[in-house]
Structure 1
Amino acid sequence: MQLPQLRMESQFAKIQINQTDARLEIKQEQPQVMIQQPKPEVRMQTTPSKLSIDQTQAWEDMDLLSISRRNDRFASEALQALQAGLARTAREGNELMKIENGGNPIAAQAKRMSSPPPKELGIKFIPSHFAVKTNYQPSELHIDVTTNKPKIDAEIYAPQFTYHPGDVQTSLLQRNYLKITYENQPK
């Protein structure tokens, strides 16, 4: 016995997908920047140093005086000598007035006048210690600095966006089908 034959051929459908990607373009120009830095202002004030040397005492110790100082010294010594002489004369006069009280005032006065006190010996041309006086004032420096802030001028640009949307297209690349054949074969 022969059986009929049934044949089937089929084909699946195929879908074609075309995709275009989305694109985003960003453009931004470089910013324009201008920077200026003013110089700082510096002011300096200096007071000069002072050195004073006073050697008046040293010159006096060496007996090298200016004419005005020598005249002042001579006048002072003359006044002292005058006062001492007046005091001595008054004292001797008082002694002579009181001669009746006894003693020998004339001999005593003659003895004092004949033996004056001895002169002082010594080196007179070397000044005493610390006769030269010095005074020093150091200089002072005042610095005043004024800083200036930088001047910044910036021009910025906003970014520019360009958007290209994506796309998806679908189509049928191959149709589906089903083919059925029937065969009956006689013998």
Structure 2
Amino acid sequence: MNIPQLQIQTTHGILGLQIDKPIQEIEQPIATLTQEQPAAILEMSTVRPQLSLDTTEVRADVDLKSPLRRSAENAQYGHQSVLEGIARRAQEGQQLVRIENGGNPIADIAKQNGTPPPKQMDIRFVGDRTKIQMAFQPGSLTINATPQKAINNVQINKPIHNYTQGKVTGVMEQYPSIQIDWKL
């Protein structure tokens, strides 16, 4: 016996996707940097050292005397010579007063005055360095350095961002179908 048969034939639908990928571009520009370093402030102050030398006595030893000192020494030498002359004349007068004691005082006085005593020859070093009077005041140096802070100017640049959105489109690659058939 033949039984009627129902035949169903189906075809699946196939859905395809068309994808346009998104495009993203990011660029980061470098930061703008300005740097400056001001020079330090430098202050210097000095006190000069002082050296004073008094060579008055050494100069006097080599006969380089000031006019005031030379005139004072000449006045003292003249005063001393006058006193010595007075003493010599008084002594000669005393010798002449005692003429009765004998001898020849006039010849003795003439002999003393006519032949001076011989000069002594000796070596004398002039300019004694130990007579130099020195005074020294040391100087000083003061340095003040004031550093200056660095000047940093930084400008941050924003990133450049370009974005193209992606797209997904559905496409039917195969449409679904159903076929129904009767077979006897």
TM-score under structure 1 length normalisation:
0.48
> When the two structures are superposed, what TM-score results if normalisation uses the length of structure 2?
0.48
